[in-house]
A and B are shown apart, each in its own frame.
Chain A
Amino acid sequence: MQASEIYERIKSKFEDAIVEFKADAIVEPYLEVKPDKVKDICEFLRDEPDLAFDYLMCLSGVDYGDGTLGVVYHIYSMKHGHRFVLKVKVSVNDPVVQSVESVWKSADWHEREAYDMFGIIFEGHPDLRRILMPYDWPEGSYPLRKDFQVPEFYNGMKVPY
């Protein structure tokens, strides 16, 4: 199924959750949706027999540098061999996105990583804690944000030493 057809399917069910569909984006089209509807849309995409998106290829956090954070979902259907890109954008002051961990288990670690690196809060995630950074990493410090400053000291050691 082509991306535009998949978009039409989502539109017919979740008309008010859609922010923007960009059909001419380089390299592939994407659909931006509202962050508080993303779980319902993902469940719909997984459970409809002719869509059957059963595989989450990648979930990436992004800092766009203008006060917005984003989450990008690259999904794939093993059954039909088609793919689709979903996006959500949230303000850096209130970065809350619905978790899709219950839809695809692979989102579990990916969401923890996005939380760890960007501070995006995934609502409904069962175990949202840091994954790559050490547990004593300062709270509220997210290294992949564009405005991240390398701290002068880490555990009493000067950086760079």
Chain B
Amino acid sequence: MATFEITTRSVRGDLKTDTMILNMGPQHPSTHGVLRLELVVDGEIIVDVIPHIGYLHRCFEKHAEQMTNYQQVIPYVDRMDYVAAMGNELAYVLAVEKLMGLEVPERVQYIRVIMAELQRIASHLLAVGTYGLDLGAFTPFLWCFREREKILDLFEITCGARLLYNYIWVGGLSHDLPSEFGKKLKDFLKTFPKALKEINDLLTFNKIFIDRTANIGVLPPDVAINYGCSGPMLRGSGVKFDLRKNEPYLVYDRFEFDVPVGEGKMGTVGDCWDRYYVRVREMEESLKIIEQAWEQLPPGDVHSAIPKKVRPPQGEVYFRTENPRGEIGFYIISDGHSASPFRVKARAPSFVNLSVLPEISRGYMIADLVAILGSVDIVLGEVDR
């Protein structure tokens, strides 16, 4: 484990070395947005990190209360984790449906699974690509974006949007799959494993990359649970916990897939490389799910269950799903008579995962902090909401 002993240099006279405060951000390229980190450093060694967030705060929760109905919240939800918008919609819509006790057709559920898993691959590709970029590898970033583009094309022919979809609606979907979707999806399923292998050869098992990430930012499993970490952050520490398996929603219990966890292959369990590699392997598992879901896809009407009015009964629900970044949850209170939610609280995975950053950065070098922050894979739109 790479730890550095903090020593005080003996200097002539009564001169003393002291800790220094260094400002990183709010526009540092490695923060992937606007995040300010206040670093307390001793030379190059990090003594403490104090994250300052809120630069992208857009009052999502206040907006949700001011809407005229439940459906209007969906486009706002898209803008939270803007590189995994499908997953956000899914969590919000499932929460509202659970509150209403609404059953949706099987076809809708299968299409939702396919979309959510495609989104997971797209989001992880971005995470993997930008992580390489943070550590100085430019080429994998371009290769990842080339593959991600194919998924965005699939989304585009389905609902017309490439980033913010408003596709998953309460009770259904905005559009059924177009006729050419199947062929394009099969092309993607066929070519993607090869592309993933290329990325692995180029980045994952690259010696320089391993040296930068192995044994860095080690997060022990008990700390991860206590800090509420979820998603690849938690699984990277060796905790086999995935909501798709442990609390199955939609039709996830009908598919066969593994839950990859960190094994400490290149260093210690729970280091940056483990978190990174969990994402890579999750893409393979998502491929398996999409293949099975496409084979089982039943016919049906995706609009048949969409209610004219969304008026949940008086009550409240907390519903969580497995987003690419971890557990996204919506806590919705309905007062029973108005058409808009009384209170919506979003539990964003990046927000909770980021809070563990000081804990796993202490004692490492400033250059390692870039590796650690990249492995947490935050999206500031979701941290600040």
Contacts and interface: CB of A to CB of B under 8 A. Distances in A.
Interface stretch (A2-10, A90-98, A130-138, A153-161): A130-138
Contact of A57 (B54, B347, B384): B347
Nearest to B347: A58
A32 interface: no
A143 B58 CA distance: 12
Contact of B54 (A55, A58, A134): A134
B327 A57 contact: yes
A83 to B, nearest CB: 9
Given A105-B226, A132-B384, A78 B241 contact: yes
Interface string B333-362: 100000000010101000110011001000
Interface in A34-67: 54-58, 60-63
A108 B356 CA distance: 10
B220 to A, nearest CB: 13
A108 B225 contact: no
Contact of A132 (B98, B314, B333, B385): B385
A49 B57 CA distance: 40
Given A27-B98, A134-B54, A143-B59, A57 B241 contact: no
Interface stretch (B112-120, B206-214, B251-259, B316-324): B316-324
B315 A106 contact: no
Nearest to B246: A81
A27 B317 contact: yes
Given A105-B226, A143-B59, A144-B61, A131 B327 contact: no
B316 A26 contact: yes
B127 interface: no
Contact of B316 (A27, A56, A108): A27
Contacts of B99: 26-27
Given A27-B99, A144-B62, A56 B228 contact: yes
A85 interface: yes
A131 B320 contact: no
Contacts of A108: 355
B226 A54 contact: yes
Interface in A99-158: 104-106, 108-110, 117, 130-134, 143-144
Contact of B355 (A63, A109, A130): A109
Interface in B162-209: none
Nearest to B314: A26
B357 to A, nearest CB: 11
Given A58-B331, A58-B345, A26 B61 contact: no
A55 B225 contact: yes
A60 B331 contact: yes
A85 B318 contact: yes
B126 to A, nearest CB: 24
B135 interface: no
A44 to B, nearest CB: 17
Interface of A: 25-28, 54-58, 60-63, 72, 74, 78, 81, 85, 104-106, 108-110, 117, 130-134, 143-144
Given A26-B314, A58-B320, A74-B318, 11 more contacts: A26-B99, A61-B345, A78-B239, A81-B246, A105-B356, A106-B226, A106-B227, A106-B352, A109-B355, A117-B61, A134-B54
15 contacts: A27-B99, A54-B226, A55-B225, A56-B228, A58-B345, A61-B345, A78-B225, A85-B318, A105-B227, A106-B227, A109-B351, A109-B355, A132-B53, A134-B54, A143-B59
